[in-house]
Amino acid sequence: MDPRYEERGIRVKSICMTYNKTTSSKTALTESGVDLHLELKGSGLRVGLTEALREAVRSGRLTPGTRLPSSRTLAQDLGVARSTVTECYSTLVEEGWLTARHGSGTQVAERAQPLRKPAPAPQPRQSKPTHGLGPGAADYADFPRTAWLGAARRAFAAAPHSAFGYGDALGRMELREALSNYLSRVRGVYADPGRIVICSGYHHGLGVMARALKEQGTNTVAVEAYGLSIYRDLLSDAGMRTPPIEVDEGGALTIELDTLPPAAALSLTPAHQFPSGYALSTERRSTVIDWARRTGGILLEDDYDGEFRYDRKPVGALQGLDPDHVVYFGTASKSIAPALRLSWMVVPERLMPAVTRAKGRVDTVSVLDQLIFTEFLTSGAFDRHVRSRRHSYRQRREDLLHAISMQTEDVKLIGMAAGLQAVLTLPTGTESWMLQAAARQGLTVSGLSEFRHPQADGPGLWSDGLVVNFSAVSDSAWSSALQSLMRVLP
Q: In whole angstroms, what is the distance from residue 366 CA to residue 159 CA? A: 14
pLDDT at residue 115, rounded to an integer: 55
Specify the domain boundaries for CATH 3.90.1150.10 within the chain: 132-136+388-488
Q: In whole angstroms, what is the distance from residue 342 CA to residue 352 CA? A: 19
> Omega into 275 within 30° of 0, i.e. cis?
yes
Which CATH number, 3.40.109.10, 3.90.1150.10, 3.40.1010.20, 3.30.530.20, labels domain 132-136+388-488? 3.90.1150.10
Helix (H, G, I), strand (E, B), or coil: what is residue 49? helix
Contacts for 250 with CB less than 8 Å, ≥ 6 apart = 278, 280, 281, 283, 284
Q: What is the pLDDT of residues 230-255, one digit of tens each?
A: 999 999 999 999 999 999 999 999 99
CATH architecture of residue range(s) 143-383: 3-Layer(aba) Sandwich (3.40)
Q: What is the pLDDT of residues 339-352, one digit of tens each?
A: 999 999 999 999 99
Q: Are 340 and 371 in contact (CB under 8 A)?
A: no
Nearest to 449 by CA among 469, 467, 433, 422: 467
Lowest mean pLDDT among 1-15, 151-165, 293-307: 1-15
Specify the domain boundaries for CATH 3.40.640.10 within the chain: 143-383
Mean model confidence pLDDT for the chain: 86
pLDDT, mean of residues 119-139: 65
Provide the 8-state DSSP code for 277. -
Helix (H, G, I), strand (E, B), or coil: what is residue 226? strand
pLDDT at residue 122, rounded to an integer: 59
Q: In whole angstroms, what is the distance from residue 428 CA to residue 439 CA? A: 20
Categorize the per-residue pLDDT at 6 as very low, low, confident or very high, splitting at 50, 70 and 90: very low
Residue 16 in this model has a pLDDT that exceeds 60: no
Categorize the per-residue pLDDT at 472 as very low, low, confident or very high, splitting at 50, 70 and 90: confident
Q: Are 278 and 231 in contact (CB under 8 A)?
A: no
Taking CA atoms, 237 is separated from 1, 240, 351, in Å, by: 56, 7, 21
Fold of 3-108: Arc Repressor Mutant, subunit A (1.10.10)
Q: What is the pLDDT of residues 155-187, one digit of tens each?
A: 999 999 999 998 899 999 999 999 999 999 999
Q: Per 3-state DSSP, what percentage of the chain is helix, strand, and coil (rounded to 5)? A: 45, 15, 40
Specify the domain boundaries for CATH 1.10.10.10 within the chain: 3-108
Helices and strands, number each (H, E), in the chain = 14, 19
pLDDT at residue 23, rounded to an integer: 37
